Amino acid sequence: MGSPNTDNESKKKESTEEASIDALKHLLFQPESDRLAMLENRLDDPMTRANEISRSLPEAVSLSVMEGDRLTRVIQPVIDDSLKESVRKNPKALADAIFPALGPGIRKAITATIMGMIQSLNQVLNHSFSIQGIKWRLEALRTGRQFAEVVMLNTLVYQVEQIFLVHGDTGIVLEHVVAEGAMIQDPDLVSGMLTAIQDFVRDSFSTDGESESDGDLDTLRIGSNRSVWVEKGEHAFLAAVIRGNPPMELRTFYREIIEDLHLKAGSALAAFDGNTQPFALFRETLNSGLRFKEREDSQQISPVVWLIVALMVAAAVALPAYWGYRVNQASQEWKGRLEKIRDQKGVLVVSVERDDGVYRLNGLKDPLVEDPLTVLASENRSDIRARWQPFYSLDPAFVFQRAQTLLNPPPGVTLSLDRNTLIAKGKADQAWIDTFDIRATAIPGIDAANGDTLVNTDRIALSTAVNTLTALKIYFENNSTELIPGQTQKLSRLIETIRDVNRLMVILNLSVQITIVGHTDSSGTEKYNMKLSRERAETIYAFVKSRSMSYGFINTLGVGTQVRLKEETREEDRQFNRAVSFRANVLSANQGTPLNRRALQDPHPKPDGS
Amino acid sequence: MTKKKICLLGAFAVGKTSLVQQYVNSIFSDKYHTTVGVKIEKTSVDVDGEAVDLIIWDLHGEDDFQHVRLSYLKGSAGLIFVADGTRHSTLATALNLRQIAESSMGSLPFMLLVNKADLADQWEIDDEVMEDLRGQGISVIPTSAKTGQSVEWAFEELARKMVGK
C-alpha cells in the first residue's frame, strides 16, 4: 500500500533499487490511494453526503413504497407532528391550502347524497304500503336506520357489466374487464368515444369559473336501468358500465382504484406511449370491481307461502294424530261391534279381515240364529261382509229352542231341559208322544227324553169311549127282538162310540174286543131265554154292522138270564133285563194283553173281562 | 400491445371517412360527426412484425378552424391531414389545421393525404405544390378512396414514424 511514511523511509535509504520500487509502487497504487482519499472525503463531509442522498432519495422512497408501507408507518408520526405544529403555529396557511378543494368536495358529496335519495324515492313510494314496506319499517326501527336507507339496501340490485381503465388524454384502454355474460363492443372504440364525449361535455357545458375536474362527466344514464360511472384521476379514468342500482360505496371503491393506480403507476401514466402492458397488473383489481348483487326476492318468502307452509306442517302433525285418533276411534268402534256379534249365542267368529274399508268375517252360525249382524243397527252393518257356516250350538237355550221347534209340542205340553235330558209334561196325543219318543234324542244336545208323566189323551179318549160303551143299555119289548121306542139317541151314541174305539185302537196300536151281550128277563124257559138273548144281541150287531164301516172286532153273546142287569124284585125290574149290554176288552195289538205302559189315567181300570 | 391514438383532420367533404372506411372497424354511425364532432375508428397495422393498434379519431370536417375541438387532439401520437386534390382550398385548410395542431400539441408525426387521386384530371393541386411540401419534410401522399390507393401504406408509414419516435 502506498502511504507517505513508506515513501520517506525509502528516500532515506537512497537506494536506486528502492527508488525504482517506490516508483513502481507509485505507479501501481497511486490511483487507489487517490480514490480512498476521495471516499474518505465523501463520507466525512456532511454537505457532500446530503447532496448525494438528495439525488437518490426519490428513488429510495419509491422503492420503499413499492416494497410496502413501512416507510409510511415510519414517517407518519413525523408528518402528523409536523402538521399539528404547523397548524398550531399558522392555521391560516392550512385553511388557505385546503379551501379550494373543500368547496367542490362538499358540493359533490351533497349532490351525490341527494341523487341517491331521489333515486330511492320511487322505490320508497312503491314499497311504503306493501307488506314488504311494513317489514322494512320494522327493520328501520330495529336497526335505527332511516327507512329510505333500509329500502335502498333491500332493493339495490345491480351488476357491473364492464370496467374500462382508460388513459385520459388518449382515450386508449389500459385495461378492460367484462362480467360473464355481458354484451360488449370493441373496448377501444367505446373508450375512445367515451373520452370524446367527456371532452365534448366538458367543452360544451363547463363554465370558466369551474375548475377542470368540476366539469367532468361522472355519470351517464342509459334508459332507466343502466348507467356508466366515471371516476377520473389525473392521468386516467375508470368507467364502469352498471346495470341496475349500484350502492354509493361502489363509487368509493372505484375512487380508490383510481387513486391506487395513480399512486403505483403515476409516472407510467404520465409517460404513456401506447404500451398497455404495464397496466395488466391492475386487471385483478378491476375484476374485484365487477360486483353484483342479486335480488333477494327468491329468498324472501311471502307471508302467504309461510302461512301455507305452516298450515301444511300443522296438517302434517295434526292429520296423523287426527287420523290416529280416528283409527283408534274406528278401531274401538269396530271392537264394540265385533263384541256384539261375538256375544251372541250360536255365533262363532273365526276370522276377521279388513280389506278396502270392509270388514270380512268368517264364522259359524247356528241355524236358529237368523243373521248374526242384526244385533247391529243397519247403518253399522254396511261395511261388514260375513260368511257363515252352519253349526249346532249346544248351548242349552239353543238345544231347548231346537227341541221346541222340532217337536212342536201341543198346547197342553210343556218341555223342559234338565242337563241333557228333555222332559215333556202335560197332555198329548199318541202321535205327538210317538214323535217325542223318536225325535227328542235325535236333537243335538239331548241325550235322553223323559215323557213319563205325559198324559196320553188318546188313551183317555179310549177309556172314555169304553166306559161309555159299557154303560150303554139298549132295551127290548117283552119276549121280542124289537127295541122299545125312544132309544134312537142311544143307538147313535153306540155307533159313534164304536167308531171312536175303532179309531183310537188304531192310533194306540191296541186291540179292543167289543162284545154285544143279549139279556132276557126271568120269565120263560132257560133255553128260550138263551135263544132270545142271542137274537137280541145279533139284532144290535146287525144294526152296528149296517152303520159302521169296521166291525171285525165286535162279537155277540146271549146270556139269557144268567147275567142279570137288575134283580127282578118288582115287575118293573123285568124291563131292565130285556136288553143288550156291551163289554170291551183292551188288548195289546201284538201280545193280546192289556197294555199298561203309561197308565190310561183311568181311575177305574176295568179288569180283564171275559 | 401498443395502441396509438391518431387524429384524422381535414376540411369538410374531403372524403376522410370514405377514405378510411374500408380499412377500419367502427361501431358508430356518421351521425356522430355532426353531433359530437368525432367518430372513433380502429385499425391494426404491422410495423416490422409488431402489431400496432391505431385508434383513429375521425374529426368532423370543419372549414372554420375556430370550431375544431382541440381537446379531441389531446393525447394523439400522430395526425393525418386530408385534403381534396380537386379543391385547392382544402389543402390550405389542412395546412392551417396542421399549424393549429402543432401549436396546441407540439410537433407530432403526421401525414398529408391528398385525396381523390382517381380524379387526377380535375386536380387543382399540381405536383409542384406537392413537391414543395415534400421539400418541407411533409409526407404528402396522393390517395384514392375509390381505388384504395396508398391508404393502407399511409397508416403503416405513420405508425412506423410514431413507434420509431
Q: pLDDT at residue B114 above 70?
A: yes
Rounded to a whole number of angstroms, the distance from the CA of B31 to the nearest CA of chain A is: 13
* Mean predicted confidence (pLDDT) in A412-417: 90
Q: B36 and A196 in contact by Cβ < 8 A?
A: yes
> Checking DSSP bridges between strand A358-365 and strand A474-475, what pairing results, if any?
unpaired
Euclidean distance between the first and the last CA atom of chain B, given in angstroms as a whole number: 17
Which chain A residue has the Cα nearest residue B59? A196
The pLDDT of residue A149 is: 66
DSSP B31-52: HHHHHTSEEEEEEEEEETTEEE
pLDDT in tens, A363-374: 998 888 888 888
Rounded to a whole number of angstroms, the distance from the CA of A208 to the nearest CA of chain B is: 15
Assembly ipTM: 0.86
- C-alpha distances (whole Å) from A336 to each of A302, A330, A365 are 49, 10, 19
Q: Kindly indicate the confidence band of residue A296, based on its pLDDT and cuts at 50, 70 and 90.
A: low
Give the distance from CA A123 to its chain's centroid.
Answer: 46
| Across A11-25, A269-283, B128-142, least confident range | A11-25
Distance CA(A116)–CA(A149), nearest Å, equals: 10
Q: pLDDT at residue A582 above 90?
A: yes
The pLDDT of residue A235 is: 87
Distance CA(A209)–CA(A215), nearest Å, equals: 10
| Across A209-218, B80-89, B122-131, least confident range | A209-218
Q: A168 and B38 in contact by Cβ < 8 A?
A: no
pLDDT in tens, B49-83: 888 999 999 888 766 655 667 788 888 999 999 99
Q: Which of A166, A167, A185, A189 to mutate to test the interface with B (most CBs of B within 10 A)?
A: A189
* Beta carbons of B17 and B88 less than 8 angstroms apart: no
Q: A196 and B75 in contact by Cβ < 8 A?
A: no
A170 and chain B in contact, CB less than 8 A: yes
Q: pLDDT at residue A43 above 90?
A: no
C-alpha cell at A274: 401506447
Q: pLDDT at residue A536 above 90?
A: yes
For the structural domain made of A156-298, what CATH number should be given? Answer: 3.30.450.70
Distance CA(A557)–CA(A532), nearest Å, equals: 11
Q: pLDDT at residue B104 above 70?
A: yes
C-alpha cell at A181: 355474460
The pLDDT of residue A114 is: 67
Q: pLDDT at residue A532 above 90?
A: yes
Q: Kindly indicate the confidence band of residue A538, based on its pLDDT and cuts at 50, 70 and 90.
A: very high
Rounded to two decimals, what is the model's pTM?
0.44
* Mean predicted confidence (pLDDT) in A21-45: 84
| Residues of chain B contacting A273 with CB distance shorter than 8 Å | 2, 77
* Beta carbons of A35 and A47 less than 8 angstroms apart: no
pLDDT in tens, A510-524: 888 999 999 999 888
Q: B27 and A185 in contact by Cβ < 8 A?
A: yes
Domain range spanning residue B31? 2-164
Distance CA(A68)–CA(B117), nearest Å, equals: 61
* Beta carbons of A166 and A232 less than 8 angstroms apart: no
Which chain B residue has the Cα nearest residue A200? B36
The pLDDT of residue A609 is: 38
Q: Which of B34, B36, B40, B105 to mutate to test the interface with A (most CBs of A within 10 A)?
A: B40
The pLDDT of residue A467 is: 92
* Beta carbons of A556 and A455 less than 8 angstroms apart: no
Q: pLDDT at residue A207 above 70?
A: no
- How wide is the angle at C-alpha A81 spanned by C-alphas A77 and A82, nearest 5°? 115
Distance CA(A402)–CA(A437), nearest Å, equals: 16
* Mean predicted confidence (pLDDT) in B78-95: 89
Rounded to a whole number of angstroms, the distance from the CA of A179 to the nearest CA of chain B is: 21
| Residues of chain A contacting B26 with CB distance shorter than 8 Å | 189
Q: Kindly indicate the confidence band of residue A497, based on its pLDDT and cuts at 50, 70 and 90.
A: very high
Q: Which of A528, A464, A536, A529 is nearest to A501 (CA)?
A: A464
Distance CA(A3)–CA(A25), nearest Å, equals: 10
* Mean predicted confidence (pLDDT) in A442-449: 88
Q: What is the largest CA-CA distance in chain A?
A: 245
- C-alpha distances (whole Å) from B154 to each of A393, B82, B143 are 127, 11, 9
The pLDDT of residue A298 is: 45
Q: Residue A315: CA atoms inside 13 Å, Cβ hemisphere, count? A: 6
| Across A241-245, A262-266, B14-18, B114-118, least confident range | B14-18
Q: Which of B55, B74, B104 to mutate to test the interface with A (most CBs of A within 10 A)?
A: B55
Q: pLDDT at residue B165 above 60?
A: no
Q: B40 and A275 in contact by Cβ < 8 A?
A: no
Number of domains in chain B: 1
Q: Which of B41, B153, B165, B152 is nearest to B109 (CA)?
A: B165
Q: What is the 3-state secondary structure (H, E, C) of A218-282?
A: CEEEECCCEEEEEEECCCEEEEEEEEECCCHHHHHHHHHHHHHHHHHHHHHHHCCCCECHHHHHH
Q: Can you state the angle between helices A70-89 and A46-67, rounded to 10 degrees?
A: 120
Q: What is the 3-state secondary structure (H, E, C) of A269-295?
A: HHCCCCECHHHHHHHHHHHHCCCEECC
The pLDDT of residue B79 is: 92
C-alpha cell at A117: 335519495
Distance CA(A395)–CA(A155), nearest Å, equals: 87
Strand stretches in A337-484, DSSP E? 347-355, 358-365, 384-390, 413-418, 421-428, 448-450, 454-456, 474-475
C-alpha cell at B156: 403503416
Distance CA(B16)–CA(B72), nearest Å, equals: 16
C-alpha cell at A347: 255365533
The DSSP secondary-structure symbol of A3 reads -
Burial of residue A135 (number of CB atoms within 10 Å: 0-12, 13-18, 19+): middle
Q: Is A94 helix (H, G, I), strand (E, B) or coil?
A: helix
Distance CA(A395)–CA(A578), nearest Å, equals: 68
The pLDDT of residue A589 is: 59
pLDDT in tens, A225-269: 788 999 988 889 999 999 888 888 888 889 888 888 888 888 888
Q: pLDDT at residue A165 above 70?
A: yes
pLDDT in tens, A355-400: 888 888 889 988 888 888 888 888 888 888 888 988 888 888 888 8
* Beta carbons of B149 and B143 less than 8 angstroms apart: yes
* Mean predicted confidence (pLDDT) in A602-610: 41
Euclidean distance between the first and the last CA atom of chain A, given in angstroms as a whole number: 201
Which member of B42, B75, B76 has the closest CB to residue A188?
Answer: B42
Instruction: Indicate the average pLDDT of chain A.
Output: 81
Distance CA(A499)–CA(A465), nearest Å, equals: 9
Q: B1 and A275 in contact by Cβ < 8 A?
A: yes
The pLDDT of residue A591 is: 46
> Checking DSSP bridges between strand A219-222 and strand A226-232, what pairing results, if any?
antiparallel
pLDDT in tens, A270-286: 888 888 888 888 888 89
Which chain B residue has the Cα nearest residue A167? B75
E strand or H helix at A181, and its extent?
none
The contacts of residue A83 (CB under 8 Å, 6+ apart) are A94
Q: Which of A103, A200, A320, A597 is nearest to B40 (CA)?
A: A200
pLDDT in tens, A462-490: 999 999 999 999 999 999 999 999 999 99
Sign of CA dihedral A206, B35, A196, B83: negative
Rounded to a whole number of angstroms, the distance from the CA of B18 to the nearest CA of chain A is: 18
Q: Which of A244, A198, A251 is nearest to A229 (CA)?
A: A251
The pLDDT of residue A136 is: 80
Q: B75 and A171 in contact by Cβ < 8 A?
A: yes
The pLDDT of residue B110 is: 92
Q: B69 and A203 in contact by Cβ < 8 A?
A: yes
For the structural domain made of A456-588, what CATH number should be given? Answer: 3.30.1330.60
C-alpha cell at A200: 365534448
Q: What is the 3-state secondary structure (H, E, C) of A111-150?
A: HHHHHHHHHHHHHHHHHCCCHHHHHHHHHHHHHCCCHHHH
Q: How many residue pairs bridge chain A and chain B with CB atoms within 8 Å of each other?
A: 85
Chain B: which residues have CB within 8 Å of chain A?
Answer: 1-5, 25-28, 32, 36-42, 52-53, 55, 57, 69, 71-72, 74-77, 162
Strand stretches in A332-402, DSSP E? 347-355, 358-365, 384-390
| Residues of chain B contacting A168 with CB distance shorter than 8 Å | 75
C-alpha cell at B74: 389531446
Q: Kindly indicate the confidence band of residue A607, based on its pLDDT and cuts at 50, 70 and 90.
A: very low
